[in-house]
Amino acid sequence: MKAFATLLERLAFTAARNAKLRILRHYLEQTSDPDRGFALAALTGDLKLRAVTPKLLRGLMAERVDEQLFALSYDFVGDLAETIALLWDGDGDDDVPLGDAVALLSDTGRAGLPAAISAMLDRLGPSERLAFLKLATGNMRVGLSARMARMALAEMGEPQIKDLEEIWHGLTPPYQPLFDWIAGGARPEHAAKAPFRPVMLSTPVDLDQLRALDPDDHVAEWKWDGIRVQAVNDDGVRRLYSRTGEDISGSFPDVIEALNFDGAVDGELLVRRGADVAPFGDLQKRLGRKVVGRAMLDSHPAGLRVYDLMIWDGQDLRDMPHQDRRTILQQADFGSDRIDVSPLLDFGTWDDLAALRADPPSIVIEGVMIKRRDSPYVGGRPRGPWFKWKRDPMVVDAVMLYAQRGHGKRSGFYSDFTFGLWDGDVLVPVGKAYFGFTDEELRELDRFVRNNTTERFGPVRSVAPKLVLEVAFEGLNASARHKSGVAMRFPRISRIRWDKPAPEADRLETLKAMIP
Residues with a known catalytic role: 223
Is 298 within 8 Å of 250 (Cβ atoms)? no
Q: What is the C-alpha separation between 277 and 300, in angstroms, rounded?
A: 11
Cis peptide before 174 (omega within 30 of 0): yes
* DSSP structure string for 220-250: EEEEESSEEEEEEEETTEEEEEETT--B-GG
Q: What is the C-alpha separation between 486 and 287, in angstroms, rounded?
A: 20
Side-chain-side CA neighbours of residue 174 (13 Å): 15
Is 223 within 8 Å of 366 (Cβ atoms)? yes
Q: Considering only CA atoms, which of 314, 231, 215, 213 is closest in space to residue 268?
A: 231
* DSSP structure string for 351-409: HHHHHHHHS-S-TTEEEEEEEETT----SB--BTTEEEEEPPPEEEEEEEEEEEE--GG
Number of Cβ atoms within 10 Å of the Cβ of 377: 22
Burial profile 316-353: b = 16 or more Cβ within 10 angstroms, e = fewer: ebbebebeebbeebeebebebebbbbbeebebeebeeb
Burial profile 152-175: b = 16 or more Cβ within 10 angstroms, e = fewer: bbbeeeebebebbbbbbbbbebbb
For residue 279, give the DSSP letter: P
Residue 316: strand, helix, or coil: strand
Burial profile 390-402: b = 16 or more Cβ within 10 angstroms, e = fewer: bbebbebbbbbbb
* DSSP structure string for 93-152: -----HHHHHHHHHHS-TTTHHHHHHHHHHHS-HHHHHHHHHHHHT---SS--HHHHHHH
Residue 310: strand, helix, or coil: strand
For residue 424, give the DSSP letter: T
Phi, psi of 220 (to 5 degrees): -140, 150
User: Would the CA dihedral through 450, 455, 458, 461 be positive or negative?
Assistant: negative
Number of Cβ atoms within 10 Å of the Cβ of 148: 18
